[in-house]
Chains A and B, each alone.
Chain A
């Protein structure tokens, strides 16, 4: 049996045209997906059963015991941190936020070490964006800044950007210009019409120079900015102003170099400025398939998109104080639940050391380096393959993920609900 139009639970492209071949409730083939997506849908090593750490070793246990242990840890903690959420569906996010409210914890998503600075930039300036289809149909200029979709979002260029075609872009790549700005010549850069090689940590200066040139104040720009010749900057600014519809698509190269959210703020301002001359949109190239979804759910439920602290009973949002890394670095968190993420691989060392000192609960279909630090491990069904639910694409479009095959594992949503029920019962007993 072929299941059509399956959504891919890998990256922020959230491709929804995948064909999955199923035999005897097992996935035997995947078509149209990229290498990254295929490998996730086809599946790999799973955590077989719930585990708890006894005398330093993880030993298998029942789900009931794992839920009980988790509830006791969260309920007993003074400053529990509920982190992750990027590779699960919005239905799980809703339960997670409810659980954070219930235990007076802090809830944060992987955006905190990813596009968190982009969100703070948006809080400063707003975001002039569009859906990806608008770019596909109209954009005659694509600018990738600190983003390398050839490696990280393999189907992006074909489906949505450089190489896609649409109503006003029938010639696809031939009718478009592609500019890449990066600190090294990536595979994406090799496909560009113009590549700006900038020195690491100079995004802010380069964006500022472009803004000056766009605003006809180019005479104030020095001959070289961050190693880039002024003539090159003038050429890029000229291409931007001459475009009928430009799209600036930025990645972690911008958010994680010196300047961080200020870089994003400046890039958003550049796009706002360009709209005085032509049409321009801007978008963050979100990494995991539903990291954008957590921001959406958290915003409508708590008012804030990430790093929400419920210790006072009301949402309190102050990244820099209430983000996951802040709590761990200050050794403030005294328990951590990790859902559908792998902070042990991605967090700064100091914060991972913080994790090692506190009880860690992991809810995930797969073992990963966080498993090594976990005291309770609860395996779950793979969302988008074994469980349905909602996810938000990098452009904020919400789509429903399908369940393709049955799973012996409970869904993330069921797991969180079970923990929530037990936390509430413990509350009643007190």
Chain B
């Protein structure tokens, strides 16, 4: 296939809006294609397929959201067609809707952000049902007893061996850490208050857990860095915890060409104030820090007004949310490993806190100078559903749109944030970075997020002529075009045409197979045999995700040997 004549934005390869052809054959970008297929992209915007590095799209939490929210299921209903399964839901769409809706946005890859090892089989059952896109799942390690014990004993090699085992057992892609230590404390209804607050019964601090997991992650040379949800997330004044966390790991170096730590949905971790009354944005302080520390990356966690379903392994946070908002509350503790919670809520334009939160996400993206350091997410569906990405793109590209929006918000959004004074408007290249090139780089997916030779044949074509259209003024057209890709091409196959899904291939699932020395693996195994005998409620032989649950694997090798 040849995609002819589009304005191509491929920042990873230094291509900035050049009119050029892209050839794809055998699912990959090639020098020249001879199959005779042509896509006319004349006068249109061509980018690599979008990559979402952080979304809650599959697994126990997501399904818990569906089960407790039939009112959400009833939104966004679309009947089956000859080709498509029925779709339901807005914040917690069914699996089919997840795949179709990503594809319609021009996205071809999305990663589930948090799965406990014990419940990974469920995560993969859902990932298998999500059509079209490639996917993977980040595995939770921040409250796992074996991790806490390795950190306590200072045995980093054993910790690395356990991570290797855990990734393999969960068919997981990377190390996710959520409120380290807090999830274990929640086992008895407690939490940790900061990075130096010891975890009850284990005698380790969040600082030690984060440092230990980061070092082990680098020992294993994993494609992705540690992916951190900070302690005290969602609380006024938490920017101090966030900055203290980053300062605590400045001495750790990455062993691969990528960030050493990814802090996720930063919007929820960039708060000032001593309480909700004097709640304010500290996004400028966070962005300043990132501007002088290139080794860290973050994603926005942008808030979208309207309905959201918050879901996180940060269970104490969710209990707090539910009590504060008198909302429905689900909690799910996972033996020896994690805790989690789900709370539906509505973000209101006239709610001072929500309006400030909305501004913070945009401030982070616009004040951080290097777009490779801050990628676009809504922490779907915590900040809002991913179908709103076109709205976020329009906001990033247009100061006029931001001003229009600010005028409709509670006035504190303007007073307690720096957003009104920010002039920056992202250009097409910035957008291509924050929605595809950078997420692929941050995840460590060399075949995604760009259109160089050998890249996956994943392309999004939008009906926008970047030489005609002024995104600052015509932001509504930007939003419209990004909401319905003219074409989405996945692995060389047209899956969306004129905003409608026209083919439903099965995507692949990434997971990381990291090798470790046999003696370290044996030490971990001995520990686990004991843990299964005494503490787990299932047999060790029934624990690991079987191959039957990952039918289209893409195994990435890493490790010590």
Residues of A near any B CB (own CB < 8 A): 4-5, 7, 16-17, 90, 94, 101, 119, 122-134, 136-138, 159-160, 166-168, 244-245, 272, 275-276, 278-279, 281, 295-297, 299-305, 310, 312-315, 317, 390, 392, 396-400
Measured between beta carbons, the chain B residues less than 8 angstroms from A312 are 79
B69 interfacial by beta-carbon distance below 8 Å? yes
- Say whether, besides A132-B537, A299-B66, A314 and B78 are in contact (CB < 8 Å): yes
Q: How many A-B residue pairs have CB under 8 A?
A: 185
Q: Is the CB of A16 within 8 A of B542?
A: yes
Contact of B534 among A119, A167, A390 (CB under 8 A): A167
Known: A16-B538, A17-B539. A122 touches B330 (CB 8 A): yes
- With both beta carbons as reference points, the residue of chain B lying nearest to A399 in the complex is identified as B542
> A165 CA to B125 CA in the complex, in Å?
31
B73 within 8 A of A: yes
Are the CB atoms of B68 and A300 closer together than 8 Å?
no
| Chain B residues, Cβ within 8 Å of A16 | 538-539, 542
Residue among B330, B339, B538 with most chain A CB within 10 A: B538
CB neighbours (8 Å) of A302 from chain B are: 86, 88, 94
Task: Determine if B334 is an interface residue (Cβ-Cβ < 8 Å).
Answer: yes
Q: What are 17 inter-chain pairs, A to B, with CB distance below 8 A?
A: A5-B539, A5-B541, A101-B85, A119-B67, A125-B329, A126-B343, A131-B334, A134-B335, A159-B537, A279-B187, A300-B66, A301-B129, A302-B86, A304-B70, A314-B88, A317-B74, A400-B121
**In contact, A4 and B95 (Cβ under 8 angstroms):** no
CA distance A166 to B534 in the complex (A): 6
Q: Does B406 lie at the interface of the complex (its beta carbon under 8 Å from any beta carbon of A)?
A: no
Contact yes or no, A123 B77, CB < 8 A: no
Does B290 count as interface, using CB distance less than 8 angstroms? no
Chain A residues near B89: list those with CB within 8 A. 303
Which B residues are CB-close (under 8 A) to A297? 125
From known contacts A137-B535, A313-B86, infer whether A101 and B80 are also in contact, taking CB-CB under 8 Å.
yes
Counting CB contacts under 8 A, is B254 at the interface?
no
Secondary structure type dominating chain A contacts: mixed
Question: In the complex, what residues of B have CB within 8 A of residue A166's CB?
Answer: 534-535
Residues of B within 8 A of A7 (CB): 542
Which A residues touch B539, using CB under 8 A?
A: 5, 16-17
For A390, list chain B residues within 8 Å (CB): 121, 125
Which of A244, A301, A314, A396 is within 8 Å of B79, CB to CB? A314
* B residues 120-149 in Cβ contact with A at 8 Å: 121-122, 125-126, 129, 145
Give the 5 A-B CB pairs with smallest separation, nearest first.
Answer: A133-B335, A303-B88, A313-B79, A133-B537, A279-B189
Given the known interface contacts A122-B330, A123-B68, A131-B334, the answer about A400 and B546 at a Cβ–Cβ threshold of 8 Å is yes
Chain A, residue nearest B319 (CB): A275
**In the complex the two chains form, what is the Cα distance from A122 to B87 in whole Å?**
22
Inside 8 A of A124's CB, which chain B residues have their CB? Answer: 328
Take A126-B342, A129-B331 as given contacts and tell me if A160 and B537 are in contact as well, using a CB distance cutoff of 8 Å. Answer: yes
4 more A-B contacts (CB under 8 A) besides A303-B70, A396-B122, A397-B119? A126-B329, A127-B68, A131-B537, A400-B546
Contact partners of A128 in chain B: CB under 8 A: 329-331
Min CB–CB distance A160 → chain B (angstroms): 6
B256 on the A face (CB < 8 A): no
B330 in complex: contacting residue of A127, A168, A392, CB < 8 Å: A127
Q: Which residues of A contact B80 (CB under 8 A)?
A: 101, 310, 313-314
Give the interface centre of A5, A129, A136, A303 by most chain B CB atoms within 10 Å.
A303
Is B548 engaged at the interface, CB distance under 8 Å to the other chain? yes
Chain A CB within 8 A of B555 CB: no
Residue of A nearest to B328 (CB): A126
B125 near A303: Cβ-Cβ < 8 Å: no
Kindly state the separation between the CA atoms of A295 and B67 in the bound complex, as whole angstroms: 8
Taking a contact as CB atoms under 8 Å apart, the answer to whether A315 and B330 are in contact is no
CB distance from B19 to the nearest CB of A (A): 42
B542 touches A5 (CB 8 A): yes
The yes or no answer to B536 lying at the interface (CB within 8 A) is: yes
Q: How large is the interface on B (under 10, 10 to 19, 20 to 34, 35 or more residues)?
A: 35 or more
Residues on B with C-beta less than 8 A from A17 are: 539
B residues in contact with A136, CB < 8 Å = 335, 535, 537
Q: Does B169 contact A (CB under 8 A)?
A: no
B93 nearest CB across to chain A (Å): 8
B185-197 CB contact bits vs A (8 Å, 1 = yes)?
0111100000000
**Interchain nearest-CB distance for A354 vs B (Å):** 26
A residues in contact with B537, CB < 8 Å: 131-133, 136, 159-160, 397
Residues of B near A317 (CB, < 8 A) are: 70, 73-74
> Contact: B86 with A126, CB < 8 Å?
no
Instruction: Establish whether residues A300 and B542, one from each chain, have CB atoms under 8 Å apart when the complex forms.
Output: no
Which chain B positions have C-beta within 8 A of A313? 79-80, 86
Chain A positions within 8 Å of B187 at CB level: 134, 138, 245, 279
B118 contacts A397, CB within 8 Å? yes
User: Are A304 and B88 also in contact (CB < 8 A) when A279-B188, A390-B121 are?
Assistant: yes
B333 at the interface (CB under 8 A from A): yes
Does the CB pair B342–A300 fall under 8 Å?
A: no
Contact B330 A123 (CB under 8 A): no
CB distance from B336 to the nearest CB of A (A): 7
- The residue of chain B having its C-beta at the shortest distance from the C-beta of A132 within the complex is B537
Whether A300 lies near B188 (C-beta < 8 A) is no
Question: How many Å lie between the Cα of A31 and that of B86 in the bound state?
Answer: 45
B412 to chain A, nearest CB (A): 30
Beyond A134-B333, A137-B535, A397-B119, whether A123 also contacts B67 by CB under 8 A is yes
- Least CB distance, B538 to chain A, in whole angstroms: 5
Q: Is B322 positioned at the interface, with any CB of A under 8 Å from its CB? A: yes
Q: How far is the CB of A267 from chain B (nearest CB, A)?
A: 14
Chain B residue contacts of A396, Cβ below 8 A: 60, 64, 119, 122, 332
Taken together as a complex, chains A and B put the C-alpha atoms of A276 and B539 apart, in Å, by 34
Partner of A167, one of B119, B329, B535: B535
Distance A4 CA – B540 CA, assembled complex (angstroms): 11
Q: Assuming the A-B contacts A137-B335, A244-B188, are A301 and B122 also in contact, with contact meaning beta carbons closer than 8 angstroms in the complex?
A: no
Contact check, B73 vs A303: say whether CB atoms are below 8 A apart: yes
Please measure, in the bound complex, the distance between the C-alpha atom of A310 and the C-alpha atom of B79, giving whole angstroms. 9
Tell whether, in the assembled complex, residue B542 and residue A315 are in contact, meaning their CB atoms are under 8 Å apart.
no
Q: How far is the CA of A237 from the CA of B160 in the complex (A)?
A: 46
Provide the residues of chain A in CB contact with B34, threshold 8 Å.
none
Contacts of B277 in A (CB 8 A): none
Q: Is the CB of B63 closer than 8 A to any CB of chain A?
A: yes
The CA of A58 and the CA of B542, in the complex, are separated in Å by 41
Interface positions, chain B 51-104, Cβ under 8 Å from A, are 58, 60, 62-64, 66-70, 73-74, 77-80, 85-89, 92-96
Residues from chain B with Cβ under 8 Å of A305 in the complex? 66-67
The answer to the question of B37 belonging to the interface, with a C-beta cut-off of 8 Å to chain A, is no
Which residues of B from 286 to 344 have beta carbons under 8 Å from A? 319, 322-323, 328-336, 339, 342-343
